[in-house]
Amino acid sequence: MIKNACSFELIEAITLHFEETKQQVIRLEDAFLALNENPKLLRCQAIEQLINDVDYTIESTKFGAIRDAGILLSLQKIEHYEIATYSILSTYAESSNENAIAELLAMSLNEEKVTELRLEKISNSIRFDS
């Protein structure tokens, strides 16, 4: 996505979120460790389809504002999915009195919400040439 985005702001947002995602993975590993559980890597079909949508957008558009708009649309869908996931997991951890885990999940949830706002701001700034 980074090499196919046109807008500097979009490239920056994708890059920043990629780094945040690495930290989120570490937090999830820490949560599993705190629960004395081994995480299992499972592919999420919904996220895979949303990523396929990004690939399709890139393949079917020219470099520029239209492509950026399509990438943003797909990324915002992914953010909504991630926010929903972290939100319910955080709520479940809180209700299970797993406060340390709830805090880890809340940190990731907040990052996702900030990313969503960043993407929304970028999408509102796209200008299409007539």
How does pLDDT run along the chain (130 residues), one tens digit per residue?
Answer: 999 999 999 999 999 999 999 999 999 999 999 999 998 888 999 999 999 999 999 999 999 999 999 999 999 999 999 999 999 999 999 999 999 999 999 999 999 999 999 999 999 998 876 4
Closest CA to 67 of 129, 2, 130, 6: 6
Q: Are 1 and 14 in contact (CB under 8 A)?
A: yes
**127, containing H or E segment:** none
The CA-atom distances, in angstroms, between 68 and each of 61, 88, 92, 97, 112 are 9, 30, 36, 42, 20
Residue 129 has what pLDDT?
66
- Residue 67 has which token pair? 């492509």
Residue 127 has what pLDDT?
82
The CA-atom distances, in angstroms, between 60 and each of 1, 7, 46, 56 are 14, 18, 21, 6
pTM, whole model, 2 decimals?
0.89
